[in-house]
Amino acid sequence: MKIVFNFFKIIQKIFFINQNYPKKYLYTLLFFFTIFTSLTEVATLGSLLPLIDVILNVNELDRNIFTQKIINFLNLQKYNLEFFLFFSFTILIIITFILKVLTIWMLAYLTNDLSYFLSKEIFKKTMSQNYSYHINKNTSVFMGNIEKVD
Protein backbone atom coordinates (compact mmCIF):
# COMPACT_ATOMS: atom_id res chain seq x y z
CA MET A 1 0.00 0.00 0.00
CA LYS A 2 2.88 2.33 0.77
CA ILE A 3 4.31 1.74 -2.73
CA VAL A 4 1.03 2.80 -4.34
CA PHE A 5 0.86 5.90 -2.13
CA ASN A 6 4.46 6.81 -3.00
CA PHE A 7 3.74 6.29 -6.71
CA PHE A 8 0.78 8.68 -6.59
CA LYS A 9 2.85 11.14 -4.59
CA ILE A 10 5.53 11.09 -7.31
CA ILE A 11 2.90 11.59 -10.03
CA GLN A 12 1.42 14.49 -8.07
CA LYS A 13 4.86 16.11 -7.72
CA ILE A 14 5.51 15.72 -11.44
CA PHE A 15 2.28 17.49 -12.33
CA PHE A 16 2.80 20.10 -9.60
CA ILE A 17 6.28 20.93 -10.90
CA ASN A 18 4.96 21.14 -14.44
CA GLN A 19 1.84 23.18 -13.71
CA ASN A 20 3.43 26.28 -15.26
CA TYR A 21 4.78 24.38 -18.28
CA PRO A 22 3.15 25.91 -21.39
CA LYS A 23 3.14 22.76 -23.55
CA LYS A 24 1.04 20.41 -21.41
CA TYR A 25 -0.66 19.00 -24.49
CA LEU A 26 2.58 17.14 -25.29
CA TYR A 27 1.99 14.83 -22.30
CA THR A 28 -1.37 13.73 -23.66
CA LEU A 29 -0.09 13.48 -27.21
CA LEU A 30 2.86 11.37 -26.10
CA PHE A 31 0.57 9.11 -24.05
CA PHE A 32 -1.80 8.38 -26.94
CA PHE A 33 1.06 8.08 -29.43
CA THR A 34 2.73 5.51 -27.17
CA ILE A 35 -0.49 3.49 -26.93
CA PHE A 36 -0.95 3.60 -30.73
CA THR A 37 2.66 2.49 -31.25
CA SER A 38 2.17 -0.39 -28.83
CA LEU A 39 -0.97 -1.49 -30.67
CA THR A 40 0.82 -1.51 -34.02
CA GLU A 41 3.63 -3.52 -32.50
CA VAL A 42 1.16 -6.04 -31.13
CA ALA A 43 -0.50 -6.23 -34.55
CA THR A 44 2.87 -6.88 -36.17
CA LEU A 45 3.81 -9.61 -33.74
CA GLY A 46 0.30 -11.04 -33.86
CA SER A 47 0.36 -11.32 -37.63
CA LEU A 48 3.72 -13.11 -37.78
CA LEU A 49 2.44 -16.58 -36.88
CA PRO A 50 -0.53 -16.52 -39.30
CA LEU A 51 1.84 -15.35 -42.03
CA ILE A 52 4.19 -18.26 -41.39
CA ASP A 53 1.23 -20.64 -41.24
CA VAL A 54 -0.10 -19.41 -44.58
CA ILE A 55 3.30 -19.58 -46.26
CA LEU A 56 3.95 -23.12 -45.02
CA ASN A 57 0.46 -24.53 -45.52
CA VAL A 58 -1.38 -22.92 -48.42
CA ASN A 59 -4.17 -25.53 -48.43
CA GLU A 60 -5.53 -24.18 -45.14
CA LEU A 61 -6.62 -20.96 -46.85
CA ASP A 62 -9.79 -22.56 -48.15
CA ARG A 63 -11.04 -23.18 -44.61
CA ASN A 64 -10.28 -19.73 -43.21
CA ILE A 65 -13.16 -17.28 -43.68
CA PHE A 66 -10.97 -14.21 -43.12
CA THR A 67 -8.47 -15.09 -45.82
CA GLN A 68 -11.31 -15.96 -48.20
CA LYS A 69 -12.76 -12.48 -47.67
CA ILE A 70 -9.36 -10.94 -48.42
CA ILE A 71 -8.99 -13.06 -51.56
CA ASN A 72 -12.47 -12.15 -52.79
CA PHE A 73 -12.21 -8.47 -51.92
CA LEU A 74 -8.82 -7.95 -53.60
CA ASN A 75 -9.40 -10.49 -56.39
CA LEU A 76 -6.18 -12.28 -55.54
CA GLN A 77 -5.02 -15.60 -56.84
CA LYS A 78 -3.72 -18.09 -54.28
CA TYR A 79 -0.13 -17.64 -55.41
CA ASN A 80 -0.47 -13.86 -55.07
CA LEU A 81 -1.88 -14.15 -51.56
CA GLU A 82 1.45 -15.24 -50.06
CA PHE A 83 3.17 -12.28 -51.67
CA PHE A 84 0.40 -9.93 -50.52
CA LEU A 85 0.57 -11.15 -46.92
CA PHE A 86 4.37 -10.95 -46.86
CA PHE A 87 4.28 -7.44 -48.36
CA SER A 88 1.60 -6.32 -45.87
CA PHE A 89 3.61 -7.72 -42.98
CA THR A 90 6.75 -5.92 -44.18
CA ILE A 91 4.87 -2.62 -44.50
CA LEU A 92 3.42 -3.10 -41.02
CA ILE A 93 6.89 -3.70 -39.58
CA ILE A 94 8.24 -0.57 -41.28
CA ILE A 95 5.34 1.52 -39.96
CA THR A 96 5.89 0.12 -36.46
CA PHE A 97 9.56 1.04 -36.46
CA ILE A 98 8.84 4.52 -37.81
CA LEU A 99 6.28 5.04 -35.04
CA LYS A 100 8.79 3.83 -32.45
CA VAL A 101 11.37 6.30 -33.70
CA LEU A 102 8.82 9.13 -33.65
CA THR A 103 7.77 8.21 -30.11
CA ILE A 104 11.38 8.23 -28.93
CA TRP A 105 11.95 11.55 -30.69
CA MET A 106 8.85 13.06 -29.09
CA LEU A 107 9.93 11.82 -25.64
CA ALA A 108 13.42 13.28 -26.12
CA TYR A 109 11.95 16.60 -27.26
CA LEU A 110 9.60 16.74 -24.28
CA THR A 111 12.37 15.89 -21.83
CA ASN A 112 14.72 18.47 -23.30
CA ASP A 113 12.09 21.20 -23.46
CA LEU A 114 10.89 20.51 -19.92
CA SER A 115 14.42 20.53 -18.48
CA TYR A 116 15.16 23.82 -20.28
CA PHE A 117 11.93 25.30 -18.93
CA LEU A 118 12.68 24.21 -15.36
CA SER A 119 16.29 25.44 -15.50
CA LYS A 120 15.15 28.80 -16.83
CA GLU A 121 12.53 29.14 -14.09
CA ILE A 122 14.97 28.20 -11.33
CA PHE A 123 17.59 30.61 -12.64
CA LYS A 124 14.99 33.38 -12.92
CA LYS A 125 13.81 32.84 -9.33
CA THR A 126 17.37 32.78 -8.01
CA MET A 127 18.45 35.91 -9.84
CA SER A 128 15.29 37.85 -8.98
CA GLN A 129 16.09 37.75 -5.24
CA ASN A 130 17.12 40.91 -3.42
CA TYR A 131 20.79 41.84 -3.39
CA SER A 132 20.99 41.15 0.35
CA TYR A 133 20.06 37.53 -0.37
CA HIS A 134 23.27 37.06 -2.38
CA ILE A 135 25.68 38.67 0.09
CA ASN A 136 27.96 36.27 2.01
CA LYS A 137 26.55 33.20 0.27
CA ASN A 138 28.66 30.51 -1.31
CA THR A 139 27.76 28.13 -4.12
CA SER A 140 26.63 25.33 -1.81
CA VAL A 141 23.91 27.60 -0.40
CA PHE A 142 22.80 28.52 -3.91
CA MET A 143 22.73 24.87 -4.96
CA GLY A 144 20.69 23.99 -1.87
CA ASN A 145 18.24 26.77 -2.64
CA ILE A 146 17.95 25.68 -6.26
CA GLU A 147 16.98 22.19 -5.09
CA LYS A 148 14.26 23.69 -2.88
CA VAL A 149 12.72 25.94 -5.56
CA ASP A 150 9.07 25.12 -6.33
Give the model's pLDDT for residue 59: 65
What's residue 98's pLDDT?
92
Which residues touch 48 (CB under 8 Å, ≥6 apart)?
Answer: 89
Q: pTM score, two decimals?
A: 0.63
* pLDDT at residue number 76: 74
Has residue 122 been placed in a domain? no
* pLDDT single digits (tens) 84-121: 777 888 888 898 889 899 999 999 998 898 888 878 88
Q: What is the DSSP letter of 22?
A: S
- 138 inside domain: no
- The total of structural domains in the chain comes to 1
- Residues 23 and 119: their CA atoms lie apart, in Å, by 16
Boundaries of domain holding 47: 25-117
- The residue ranges of the chain whose pLDDT is under 50 are none
Residue 113: which residues within 8 A CB-CB, separation 6 or more? 23, 26
Q: How many CB atoms lie within 10 A of CB 37?
A: 20
CA–chain centroid gap for 99, Å, is 9
